[in-house]
Amino acid sequence: MMDRTYKDIQQITLAVDCIIFGFNDNRLEVLLVHRGFAPEKDRWSLMGGFVGNHEDLDDAANRVLKDLSGLEDVYMEQVRTFGKAKRDPYERVVSTTYSALILKDKYNKELIEEYRAKWFPIDELPDLIFDHKDMVDSAIRRLQRRVRTFPIVFNLLPDKFTLPQLQKLYEGIFQEEMDKRNFRKKLATMDFLIKLNEKDMSESKKGAFLYRFDEKKYNKTKNFTI
């Protein structure tokens, strides 16, 4: 902060936009809202909102997410701030993006309908307003980096999940196929992945064993890389 007085400083509308990721049908998807109002009526956008004058930036992002999904205590990270003067052609708005990882079957469907929101696979995004496509892209790139060294993907899965599911999720995030044996070899070294005596029979005749992520055990060593 330099030596100007705090008076007469120009103020700017500050917003947050959420890139909400979900794992559906073995694909990584993003939740988008359909704008029912001008400007840019009937186009798709990220879920966003303005930051209150006495509201923490992080809190604003959580509030916006809760308004749409009904969810609280969601895994969320700030991604970056988009601040081009002309990024919103109607008004000067600077927007900080947050990436959220949610569980598809936990969100509130009525709220989502109310906002006319829809899930889109990340490789089939519709046309988005303003710079929202750049926002999604940077969030995906960040997610791709983060999931290599932090066990955050479990936020996208139910408590019990199978290894084929987990692999499909990583493949959806990286947008590339992985070798099953090498993938499992890495997971086998991680003692915080607990194999249960239960199978999920819904995806195959043989059934796949269910696993659980033990966060406490993970916190002891915190070594994780895919």
Partner DNA sequence: GTCGAAAATGTTATATATACACTTACAACC
Partner DNA sequence: GGTTGTAAGTGTATATATAACATTTTCGAC
Q: How many CB atoms lie within 10 A of CB 97?
A: 26
| The entry of a copy of itself, DNA, none that residue 206 binds, CB within 5 to 8 Å by partner kind | DNA
Tell me the closest approach of the beta carbon of residue 65 to a copy of itself, in angstroms: 12
Residue 52 binds to a copy of itself (criterion: CB under 8 A): yes
In single-letter form, the type of residue at position 167 comes to Q
Q: What x-and-dash track marks residues 173-192 binding a copy of itself by CB under 8 A?
A: --------------------
Residue 33 binds to a copy of itself (criterion: CB under 8 A): yes
| The entry of DNA, a copy of itself, none that residue 9 binds, CB within 5 to 8 Å by partner kind | a copy of itself
Closest to a copy of itself by CB, 29 or 77 = 77
Q: What x-and-dash track marks residues 2-21 binding a copy of itself by CB under 8 A?
A: xxx-x--xxxxxxx-x----
- Considering only 42-50, 118-126, 208-216, 218-226, which stretch makes contact with a copy of itself by CB under 8 A? 42-50
In single-letter form, the type of residue at position 110 comes to E
Question: In sequence order, which residues have a C-beta less than 8 Å from that of residue 106 and are 6 or more positions away?
Answer: 71
Cα separation, 17 vs 135, in Å, equals 9
- Considering only 52-60, 120-128, 169-177, 205-213, which stretch makes contact with a copy of itself by CB under 8 A? 52-60
CA 76 to chain CA centroid, Å, is 7
Residue 45 binds to a copy of itself (criterion: CB under 8 A): yes
Cα–Cα distances in Å, from 67 out to 6, 63, 111? 34, 6, 8
Sign of CA dihedral 46, 49, 50, 55: negative
Single out the residue of 93, 99, 51 nearest to residue 79, CA to CA.
Answer: 99
Cα separation, 30 vs 100, in Å, equals 10
Which residues bind to DNA, rule: CB under 7 A? 162-164, 179-182, 184-186, 199, 201, 203-209, 225
The count of residues interacting with a copy of itself (CB under 8 A) is 51
Tell me the closest approach of the beta carbon of residue 207 to a copy of itself, in angstroms: 41
Cα separation, 115 vs 67, in Å, equals 10
Tell me the closest approach of the beta carbon of residue 111 to a copy of itself, in angstroms: 12
Place of tokens 């509308």: 13
As a three-state string, the secondary structure of 60-115 is HHHHHHHHHHCCCCCEEEEEEEECCCCCCCCCCEEEEEEEEECCHHHCCHHHHHHC
| The entry of DNA, a copy of itself, none that residue 194 binds, CB within 5 to 8 Å by partner kind | none
Where does this chain bind a copy of itself (CB under 8 A)?
1-4, 6, 9-15, 17, 33, 35-37, 45-58, 60, 64, 67, 78, 80-85, 88, 90-96, 115, 129
